[in-house]
A and B are shown apart, each in its own frame.
Chain A
Amino acid sequence: MANTVFQKPHALCDVPLHYCPGCTHGIIHRLVAEAIDALGIEGRTVGVASVGCSVFTYNYFECDMVQAAHGRAPAVATGLKRAEPNNIIFTYQGDGDLAAIGTAETVHSAARGENITIIFVNNAIYGMTGGQMAPTTLPGQVTQTTPYGRDPQYAGLPVKICEMLSQVDGATYLERVAVDSVAHINQAKRAIEKAFRNQVEGKGFSLVEVLSTCPTNWGKEPAAAMEWLRENMIPYYPLGVYKDKYADEKGGSK
C-alpha cells in the first residue's frame, strides 16, 4: 500500500501555468494552495489578483478570485473582507504592483489593521512588461531601463517593504522569506500558512514577502537565477520575522 506524500494541492487548478520555465511564481502558488488546503478554507477563500505576470492567478486557484486595478489589491481586499467578514481574503501581488503604484494602499491597509493576508512576491524587476527597473531593483542591477546598472544617485535606492511596514502600528505579522532552496521553501510554506491562520483567528494584517526570481528578465538560467537571489538579494533583503504581535503566544513565530 503506497501513500502519496507529495502531489499538487487541491486548491491549485489542474491547468498548465503560463509562467516561464523556472519562474518561482509556480512554487509560491503551490505554497498558497497548500496553506488553503491545510486550513480547510477553500470554500470561503477569495483571492485578489494584481497586475503583472501574476494577474493570471485568477485562473490558477480553485477559490473565487477578483482582479484589482494596478496596485489596488489591498483596497479591494478591504472591501471584500468588510462585506463578508467570514471569508478569507488574500492578495497575491508582485513588487511592481505592491511596492510601486500600490504603496499607498499597502501602507494604509496595514495602518488600518485590516484582517487580510498579503503575499508579496519580490523579484526586483518588472517581469511582464519586459524587465524594467522596479522600486525593489538592487543598486547596480542591470535592467532594460538601467543598462549600466541601477545608479542610486540617479534612480534612488530600493524600497524595503517589510522594514517599512514594521513601523506601522496596525500591522500584525510581517515576514520575509525566499524560495531559492528547499529549506527556504519549507520556511516560506510555514510563513504563508501562518499568515492565513492569523486571518482565520482574526488577528489582523499579515504580509509575507517572498524573494523570488525572474530568470527570463534577469537573463539567467533558472538555477543560476536562484544562485543570484541567494548571493545578491538575501544580503540586501535579510530574511526573517519583522513583526509578530502574537509572537509570545503558543504557536507564535519561530
Chain B
Amino acid sequence: MAKISFREDRCKGCGLCTTVCPKKIVQLSRDRINSKGYHPAECIDESACIGCFSCGTICPDCVITIEREAAK
C-alpha cells in the first residue's frame, strides 16, 4: 500500500509524470487550476498506486512524495 501526495502549487502541468505511470493513474486535472494557473497532476485511483515512484523520478519540480507501508 503506497500513498502518493502532490504539492500542487509547485506543479507546472508539464505532464511528464502522466507518461511514465505503469498503472496510468496519474493525470492532469481537467477541472482545477493551481495558483500558477496550470492544471496540476493528480492521482485518480490512490488504491492502485504501487509506490514505484516513476512519477516522482521524472518530475522536474519535486512535486511528488511517495510513502509506503513499512514491512511488518
Contacts and interface: CB of A to CB of B under 8 A. Distances in A.
B58 A2 contact: no
B12 A21 contact: yes
Contacts of A235: none
Contacts of A181: 20, 58
Contacts, number: 81
Contact of B67 (A5, A17, A25): A5
B24 interface: no
B57 A5 contact: no
A250 interface: no
Interface residues of B, number: 28
A2 B57 contact: no
B7 to A, nearest CB: 9
B69 interface: yes
Interface string B41-72: 00000000001011011111110111111100
A69 interface: no
Interface of B: 2-3, 10, 12-16, 19-20, 38, 51, 53-54, 56-62, 64-70
Interface of A: 1-8, 12, 16-17, 19-27, 30, 179, 181-182, 185-186, 215, 221-223, 226
